[in-house]
Chains A and B, each alone.
Chain A
Amino acid sequence: MKRWGSTIVLVVLMGVLVGFPVYAQTGSTVEQEVKALKPGLSRFLLRGYAHSGFESYEKENSFVGGSFNPIFLWQQSDRLLFEGELEVALEDGTTTLGLEYANMSYIINKRMIVRVGKFLIPFGIFAERLHPRWINRLPSNPLGFNHGEQVGPAAALGAEIRGGAPLGTAKINYSVYIINGPSLNDGSETPEAAGMLHFDNYEDNNTNKAVGGRFGFLPFSSSALELGVSAQYAKVGNENSRYRDVAARLFALDLSLVKTVPAVRGIVDVKAQYSLTQVDDASYINPDKPETMYTFKNENAAYFIQGTFKPAFVANTFFQKLEFAGRYSAMTLAEGAAWGGQKNQWAVSLNYWLDWRTVVKFSYQYTDAPGAEAEAVEHEEEGTPLGGAFLIHWSFGF
């Protein structure tokens, strides 16, 4: 018996001696592997989106190359984030590369974040929150929110302080920024565009910076509703010109309502924005009679209201992925100016979501220019074409 006992002890001991190093080694390898995979404090995330489609207007139809937008996020610590977005697009037969934004955010404290660089401007909600192709429920942007016919800024270089805070059953958020600001087209190169504001100038044309901000209020504890007001002020004329004291005042109101409605087993989403730009009166060279000057009330407005319904909670998995979207938008550009005029547009879309960021949109839109002379419309090159159009787009977020 005693012999058996010591044999067992010996065998177990040998087993432990032989096995332990193996066991210990596997243990440390797994640990090391896990450690090797664990990201350090400095982290990088590559995300972004892409889109393209087919567009059929009254006078032309074409597959559109759309764009590919990689987004780079570097998180250097719990407080420091860099975000950068590039846009690679096919436009008029060439490939263009654009810097959509590139900025650094530093979280100062719970209620305050400072951001510097090129960033999307919180003037209303469209530019900052709704324009990415996988977020915009329609394939097109509302009137007044496109490059070329833009009422209000979309992105700029500058510095910003922003944050959010709870307020009992409600919530608020704010942003205050200082940016280079828009520049006034004085007509010296393109008389027919004199008086227009250009928002995509990345080198300031004067020493006066634009200051602005947005204040958002979410009255319900469910955060379903957000109401926002934005404003911006700047002198916009060239430093050494007769327009140096011409100032522009910009205002915007926005609304966002997103609610799950059990009665209709779906999510109802309403978004709206109204933007207004007012530029001081000034006289510009009359493009029709270059030897004379002319003036006009330089006030521009654009608004949209958009509603979507997604039956996300019905039993049928096909219908769960469907979404119905409708939008009305209108734009009024300075009456009396050579570039002035009015446009409005209806757009409807049937969307099919393949996942939370991948969507195919089948849409019809009708754009009208009440009061425009047929001839002027014929020669229009910039901006949204008039008449009806079918747009089919897919957007892929990753």
Chain B
Amino acid sequence: MYKRNLAIAVLMLAVVVGLTLLVACSSNKPLIAEKSGAQLWGENCVRCHNAPSPPAFNDYQWETIAIHMRVRASLTDEEVQKIVEFLKMAN
């Protein structure tokens, strides 16, 4: 059993290393800091659940939800600020 676990762990590590190398080779990607709120919303808010659309909540609710998601999803301060701005503008 131990061997099997080790095999699975090694396999997952291999996937990790492989994917990291893949990224290292794919250069000239845009910096996250240069992305718009709309794009960051589209890329980040679907990662765990379906992305809520801007009209789902009002401005004040979005602000509280943003803090909740910033904590829960460990999103960066910069992206959360931009996403909230976009959600408040587009709702």
Contact = CB atoms under 8 A, between A and B. Distances in A.
Interface string A256-297: 101000000001000010101000000000000000000001
Interface string B12-52: 11011001100100000111110100000001101111111
Given A227-B20, A356-B53, 11 more contacts: A43-B60, A73-B64, A81-B68, A135-B48, A166-B31, A166-B32, A166-B79, A169-B30, A251-B9, A301-B8, A357-B49
A86 interface: no
Given A274-B8, A332-B1, A224 B30 contact: no
A226 B15 CA distance: 12
Contacts of A303: 8
The 10 closest A-B pairs by CB, nearest first: A173-B74, A219-B23, A164-B74, A356-B50, A169-B29, A221-B29, A110-B77, A75-B64, A164-B76, A105-B71
- Interface secondary structure of A, over-half rule: strand
A107 B67 CA distance: 9
A128 B47 CA distance: 13
Nearest to B27: A169
Contacts of B85: none
What is the size category of the interface that chain A forms with chain B? 35 or more
Nearest to B80: A164
A389 B33 CA distance: 48
A255 to B, nearest CB: 7
A224 B78 CA distance: 18
Contact of B48 (A45, A129, A222, A227): A129
A353 interface: yes
Nearest to A130: B48
A113 interface: yes
Contacts of A107: 67, 70-71
27 contacts: A38-B60, A45-B61, A75-B63, A83-B68, A107-B70, A107-B71, A110-B77, A128-B72, A135-B49, A162-B71, A168-B31, A169-B23, A169-B31, A169-B32, A171-B32, A171-B76, A175-B74, A221-B29, A227-B19, A253-B9, A253-B12, A253-B16, A276-B5, A297-B2, A335-B1, A356-B52, A356-B53
Interface of A: 38-39, 43, 45, 73, 75, 78, 81, 83, 105, 107, 110-111, 113, 115, 128-130, 134-135, 162-166, 168-171, 173-175, 216-217, 219-227, 251, 253, 255-256, 258, 267, 272, 274, 276, 297, 299, 301, 303, 332, 335, 353, 356-357
A274 B29 CA distance: 30
Nearest to B65: A45
B90 interface: no
Given A75-B63, A221-B31, A267-B46, A227 B16 contact: yes
Contacts of B50: 353, 356-357
A41 to B, nearest CB: 11
Given A73-B68, A83-B68, A274-B9, A220 B74 contact: no
Contacts of A110: 76-78
A387 to B, nearest CB: 24
A46 B66 CA distance: 14
Contacts of A220: 23, 29
B35 to A, nearest CB: 8
Nearest to B17: A227
Contacts of B5: 276, 299, 301, 332
Contacts of B20: 217, 219, 227
A299 B1 contact: yes
A390 B46 CA distance: 28
A43 B63 CA distance: 10
A163 B80 CA distance: 12
B63 to A, nearest CB: 7
Contacts of A353: 50
Given A303-B8, A356-B50, A170 B76 contact: no
Contacts of B43: 222-224
Contact of A163 (B13, B53, B74): B74
Contacts of B64: 43, 45, 73, 75, 81
Contacts of A299: 1-2, 5
Contacts of A39: 60
